[in-house]
Amino acid sequence: MRIGELAKLAGCDVVTVRFYESTGLLPAPARNGNNYRSYSAQHLETLHFIRQCRSLDIPLVDIERLLQFRAQPQESCADINGLLDAQIERVKTRIEQLRMLEIYMNNLRRQCGVGVVRKDCPILAGLSKPDDGPWEDPLHA
């Protein structure tokens, strides 16, 4: 199948397929006589796997490891458990960061009442302060 069909079947954009191919997560496809990429059912299955991992917010480096683990089906899954445990901890940390962010934004919102003109808006003033958040967000640091 061609790249557009693969993308459609996987529910993603062609750019996404090319990205995963360029990172090495998705193996390079064969080329047919006119030099078009020719993807197989295995490519589709791998792309589904990658997209499922990304929907769980698993980093690309860990997806690469999971793909390597899949290639060794007779090995112990202890490493997979460890990888997932680490991801669970990252999710817990992110949830706590989001809770702190919600508290901060609610506090900021309570500072502004109805009828305040923009030049005196405490929300805009609060957003203008450097490092005014009570959280550490590694995604935006």
Helix, strand or coil for residue 84?
helix
In a domain, 116, yes or no: yes
In a domain, 33, yes or no: yes
Domain membership flag for residue 27: yes
**Domain range for residue 95?**
78-128
Q: Are 84 and 120 in the same domain?
A: yes
Query: Taking the complete model, does pTM exceed 0.85, yes or no?
Result: no
**Spatial CB neighbours of 126, under 8 Å, sequence gap ≥ 6:** 108, 111, 132
Contacts of 95 (CB under 8 A, 6+ apart): none
* Tens of pLDDT, residues 58-95: 999 999 999 999 999 899 989 999 999 999 999 999 99
For residue 71, is it within any domain? no
The CA distance from 103 to 137, in Å, is 14
Structural contact between residues 13 and 21, judged by C-beta atoms closer than 8 angstroms: no
* 84 in any annotated domain: yes
